[in-house]
Structures are given as C-alpha cells and as structure tokens.
Amino acid sequence: MRLFKTLAGLRCYLETARWRSLPVGLASPEEKGKLRQSPKAVIGFVPTMGALHPGHCSLIRRARQENELVVVSIFVNPLQFAPGEDLHSYPQTLEADQEVCRQLGVDVLFTPDAAALGINGEPLTQVMPPAPVLQVLCANSRPHHFPGVTTIVFKFLNLIQPDRLYLGQKDAQQLAILQRMVQDLNLPVEIVPCPTVREVSGLAYSSRNQYLTPEQRLEAVHLSQALQQAEQLFRRGERWANPLVTTVREHLLQHPALALEYVELVHPVTLTPLEEIVETGLLAIAAKLGQTRLIDNVILRSRSPIIAIDGPAGAGKSTVTRLVAEKLGLIYLDTGAMYRAVTWLVLQSGISLADEPAIAELVSQSSIELISTHAAPVVKINGVDVTQAIRSPLVTSQVSAIAAQKAVRQQLVQYQRHLGANGGLWRRVGISLPMFSRKQS
C-alpha cells in the first residue's frame, strides 16, 4: 500500500498506475500516448474522515472486489464543519486506520492536510447543491455542511478520477446530494451506494460513537429501535408519513436523554418531503446525546424485488425467467432483447460497428419498448416491431460486439433501472421511453 500526503505524490502515482499494462514509474510520455487505446485500470474511491470502523470497511471491501485500484482518503474536511462543531476533537486514529487499509488490500491511502488541498481560510470556489435539498433533514441545522461536502468530493473526484465512488447509505442525505451533483455536473463516475452496517445492538457504526459513554451507548440504540418500529408499521401496510413519523417520535419520547432534532420522511433520491410513500421513502432521524449528534435512517420500499438470472447462451435463461416472473407476479425484463434491438438498429443505420461515438449518439436518441404478452415480449425500437428481426443470425453474430461498448451498456442499464422503477406501469401497458432519460420517477 502506498501512502500519500500531497497532491504531487498522488497524481504522479496515479498517472502511471492507472495504465495497468505499464510498470509503475517506467512510463514515458510516448509510451503513455501509445497506450491511450488500451483499457485503463478501473479505480474505486472511498472517501472517509478516518477513525475507520466496520461501516467504512464494508465500503473498502466492496471497492476491492470491484476495481483494480482502490484509493481511500482520510481527510477531516474543515469546510463541512461550522464553528463550534467537533472539527478539532474529531477522532484521529491514523496508525490503526493505515493497518486496516493494508489488511483490506487498499492500493493507495491519501491523507492530505487542509493546506495540501489549498484550504487555508481564504474564500474558495464552491460546489453548491440546489436549494431544495438544503431545506430538509440535516441541512436545516447544518447549512454549511453539504456545500462543504460537495466541494471536497468534487475536488477529490478531479484529483483521483475514479470510475466508481463508494458511499454509505448511513449518510443518506449526503448520498442523495452527491448523486445529484454527479448527475447535474455530468461527472464521469458511478456512485455505488452501500448499506448501513450496524452493531449487534442495531446502533449504526459511526466514528462519533467513540464520544459516547457506556450508558449513552445503551440510549443510542433507541434511534435504530424507533426506526425499526416505524418499519414494522410500514410492513403492516401503513403508507402515510404522519403515523410513521409519530411512531418514531413516541418511541423517543420515552428516552429523554436523546434530544430529537428531526424525524422526516422524504424521497430517497430527490429528498422531497413525502406525505405518503408510493414506492420508496427515506425515514431519517437526528438526535443529540449529550454533546454527540447522531443520525440514522431506514429506506421503506414497497417495490417488488428484482431477480437477475444470468448464464451461458442457450442455457434457457429466457424460459426460466419468464416462468419465475409469472409465478411470482413480477415483470419479465429481457435485457438480451434490448441489446439485440440496439444491434439491429445499428446494422440498419449503416454505422460502422467500430464507430462507438456514433453508436452512442444513435442509441441515446432512440426509444425502446418491451411489451409484455403471454408469449415472448414484443420488442419495438423507434416504433418498429423488431421482435422477429432481432433473432436473425446477423444480429446474433454482432450483438456481443455492441453489448461490449461502454456507452451502450451505460444507456441500457440506465433504461433498465428506469423500467424497474416503473415496473407496474410497464407490466400493464408497455412503455416507451427515450433511452437517455435521466429523470428519476
């Protein structure tokens, strides 16, 4: 594992290490130029403020599984603390953190100080999230916090240029705001949300738990217990915000050591306050225990599960998937048919299969329909029924080349997610969406 404290060291290392076929430190500019055609190492990035705990470790492990290079940062970002908050007392356990990172197979640990990042008290260009996401949850009591987070993460993304950014669901508002930043500013990174890791008691791991006395730890458990009670109510069919929020409040009223700051129900992606959960809701809570501010949340989801079935060609995936979907009352989404439809379109258009930018442009301007029937689904692209045509030997011979193109995959995955989110609608009538629609439902 390499440890860097400066931008110069980090940049120099990454410039060579990201070209995986090149031994680090040996690449001349000419060699690098030649390699521009070859695939780059995939980089996963986990930003943290240190005092690493099992929650952080879950993000790092996931990054290790999914990427060739893993970069972890430890930086207690002054921009996200207001005067009087715990910037100067925030737990620092750098030696232990280094050991944790080494054990987890991290490639680079980046631990700059504020000066190294050009943060010196002078006014700084900032990344400002849109006003509505700053009018809910933690932003009401910590108005400077999220602009500080977006600014520093933007800086890190520019420096490291990772392919994937790993963030915890524990900080649900931060996750939603960073997802929004990546979308609004077209940043070329995929955000990977990771579930909240909890102690056996249910208390979510947090570096700030170190501030708690043993007695306070016993009280802190009631945050997750209150959320669990609301979750049970939701499982029994309650969809209205009021009873769900009241359940949490009433539970916490019995534990006056916990000074409740807020309990709110919002949409997990847009953070818009919800009166009723139609599909998903984020029930989030913040409370103070002595001087320690704790947050927790639960996602309440009424959506059907998504089951993915994969296997070699000709193994019977489509048949099995259709049967499983029928039995469980789920939607059958034949992603293979979507790639075939795009392949058919490219072949029709006369664009060379090697011209990836032209194909990306073509696909992003097209619309696709998968209409569920009792037999195989009807597939239409740009209004043309291609259900039969996509099974031709020519399409079959070219589909893997098209499916290997990153831009095609990105657009179809985005489209499939959209279909998943609109599952009920799709099942009833079939839907047609521009494949490049970025709007969340």
**Catalytic residue list:** 56
Cα angle: 66, vertex 60, 285; to 5 degrees: 115
Smaller CB distance to ligand AMP: residue 69 or 149?
A: 149
Site for ligand AMP in 202-231 (CB under 6 A): 204-207
Smaller CB distance to ligand AMP: residue 4 or 45?
A: 45
The answer to whether 173 contacts ligand AMP (rule: CB under 6 A) is: no
Smaller CB distance to ligand AMP: residue 150 or 206?
A: 206
In angstroms, the CA 277 to CA 283 distance is 10
The answer to whether 194 contacts ligand AMP (rule: CB under 6 A) is: yes
In angstroms, the CA 67 to CA 16 distance is 16
The answer to whether 48 contacts ligand AMP (rule: CB under 6 A) is: yes
Smaller CB distance to ligand AMP: residue 74 or 342?
A: 74
Closest CA to 208 of 243, 170, 180: 170
The answer to whether 49 contacts ligand AMP (rule: CB under 6 A) is: yes
Q: Considering the complex, what minimum distance in angstroms separates the CB of residue 153 from ligand AMP?
A: 10
Smaller CB distance to ligand AMP: residue 99 or 250?
A: 99
The answer to whether 296 contacts ligand AMP (rule: CB under 6 A) is: no
In angstroms, the CA 214 to CA 99 distance is 26
The answer to whether 333 contacts ligand AMP (rule: CB under 6 A) is: no
Give the range of 63-71, 194-202, 234-242, 277-285 binding ligand AMP by CB under 6 A: 194-202
In angstroms, the CA 276 to CA 238 distance is 9
The two tokens of residue 35 are 């390699």
Contact 177, 191 (CB under 8 A): no
Closest CA to 265 of 235, 237, 298, 223: 298
* Residues with Cβ within 8 Å of residue 127, at least 6 apart in sequence: 147, 150, 151, 154, 181, 185
Q: Which helix (H) or strand (E) holds 298?
A: strand 292-301
In angstroms, the CA 273 to CA 267 distance is 6
Q: Considering the complex, what minimum distance in angstroms separates the CB of residue 343 from ligand AMP?
A: 38
**How many Cβ atoms from other residues are within 10 Å of residue 51's Cβ?**
20
Q: Considering the complex, what minimum distance in angstroms separates the CB of residue 43 from ligand AMP?
A: 17
Binding mask 57-86 for ligand AMP (x = CB under 6 A): -xx---------------------------
In angstroms, the CA 376 to CA 319 distance is 9
Q: Considering the complex, what minimum distance in angstroms separates the CB of residue 78 from ligand AMP?
A: 13
* Residues with Cβ within 8 Å of residue 202, at least 6 apart in sequence: 221, 224, 225, 228
Return the residue of 168, 268, 281, 377 that touches ligand AMP, per CB under 6 A. 168
Smaller CB distance to ligand AMP: residue 110 or 339?
A: 110
Q: Considering the complex, what minimum distance in angstroms separates the CB of residue 199 from ligand AMP?
A: 9
In angstroms, the CA 182 to CA 157 distance is 10
Q: Considering the complex, what minimum distance in angstroms separates the CB of residue 426 from ligand AMP?
A: 32
Count the site residues for ligand AMP by CB under 6 A. Answer: 17
Q: Which helix (H) or strand (E) holds 96?
A: helix 94-103
Q: Which helix (H) or strand (E) holds 175?
A: helix 172-184
Return the residue of 4, 10, 55, 415 that touches ligand AMP, per CB under 6 A. 55
The neighbouring-strand residues paired with 260 are 287
Smaller CB distance to ligand AMP: residue 228 or 304?
A: 228
Return the residue of 97, 107, 171, 296 that touches ligand AMP, per CB under 6 A. 171
The answer to whether 149 contacts ligand AMP (rule: CB under 6 A) is: no
In angstroms, the CA 323 to CA 120 distance is 62
Residue ranges binding ligand AMP (CB under 6 A)? 48-49, 55-56, 58-59, 167-168, 170-171, 194, 196-197, 204-207
